[in-house]
Amino acid sequence: MSHHLVLGAGPVGRATATLLASQGHDVLLAHRSGTGADLPGVRRVALDAADARALTDAATGAAVIYNCMNPGSYTTWERDWPPLQTAMLAAAESTGAVLAIVSNLYMYGLQGTGDVITPESPTNGTDHKGLLRNRMDQEALKAHQDGRIQAVVVRASDYVGAGIGANSMGTRLVAGASKGKRAVFFGNPDLPHSWTDVEDVASTVVAAAADPQAHGRVWFAATNPPRSQRELLTEVLDAVGKPMVAVSTIPGAVLTLSALLMPFMREVKGVSHQFTGPWVIDSAQTERELAVAPTPWAEVLHRTATGNG
């Protein structure tokens, strides 16, 4: 048994803490309020992770620090992420804990028909959120290469699974559609798209953190074969015996106008290329080298339906 510090109590943080506790580890789940539903075998603590001294104190004795955080508003990422990054690097260097980072795919650009994204694909996205997260990932990997810390990065596609609600393109329509409401899609609802279950993110980051041979690299979370937005919603509803609902799409011109008027929609438009082109990732390397396979799709569908309806 070893001590692990999980930062962030969202779906991925909770899944990671729960998995570690089930493996018999001592787990401390940290976020600003320190509150939330009890998780078996998991202790909670209120912590400002941007406070390097407080974070270092909490991480002392930990084998791994897991960055499962995600600042609440895209519009404040440039303000919120840098002090968190500085504190995490300092804590990892001071304590010797592995820094295991849960990242995203925003740094990859528009994909063409037949394209598949791998960890080695060029990070050619232009949106500020992707540029920022890629800089953070590379900064941590550079610190690893320089021998200052041990670090590993796990990137995942849009989340599915339980407890995500409206915070993912894969689950935002589930609650309404479960009540028979029309589904309004972004982009082209019939393009192939990869969806990553939050529990598979947890399984991948825990396995990568535990394997010294995995450190210093970018990995993709274990992910099932792609489904279009329409296929995903149809299958989620079918998993609980409900029919598919009427659908429509947001015209590109409407999204552009909304982006001019509303900061949140401007942030959505910045990564809309994920839904105007195919968005398919290949996690075969994770399955082959880390021995982490995605959860069977039927199980993913069921917990997406029951955990977000």
What are the angstrom distances between the C-alpha of 46 and each of 29, 71, 243? 9, 16, 43
Task: Look up tokens 């260097």; give the residue.
Answer: 93
Q: Does the pLDDT value for residue 232 go beyond 80?
A: yes
pLDDT, mean of residues 134-158:
98
List pLDDT tens digits, range 39-89.
999 999 999 999 999 999 999 999 999 999 998 888 999 999 999 999 999
Q: What is the pLDDT of residue 56?
A: 98
pLDDT tens-digit readout, 166-203? 889 999 999 999 999 999 999 999 999 999 999 999 99
Position of tokens 């329409």? 230
Residue 253 has a pLDDT of 80
CA distances to 99, 161, 227, 295, 298 from 241, rounded to whole Å, are 42, 17, 19, 21, 13
Please compute Rg for the chain using Cα positions: 19
Residue 152 has pLDDT above 80, yes or no: yes
| DSSP symbols for 215-227 | TTSEEEPP-PPPB
**What tens digit of pLDDT does each residue of 260-301 get?**
778 877 888 888 899 999 999 999 999 999 999 999 999 999
**Tell me, what's the pLDDT at 270?**
87
* Residue spans per domain, the chain: 3-161+194-227+277-301, 166-189+228-276
Architecture of domain 3-161+194-227+277-301: 3-Layer(aba) Sandwich (3.40)
Q: What's the chain's average pLDDT?
A: 95
pTM of the model: 0.96
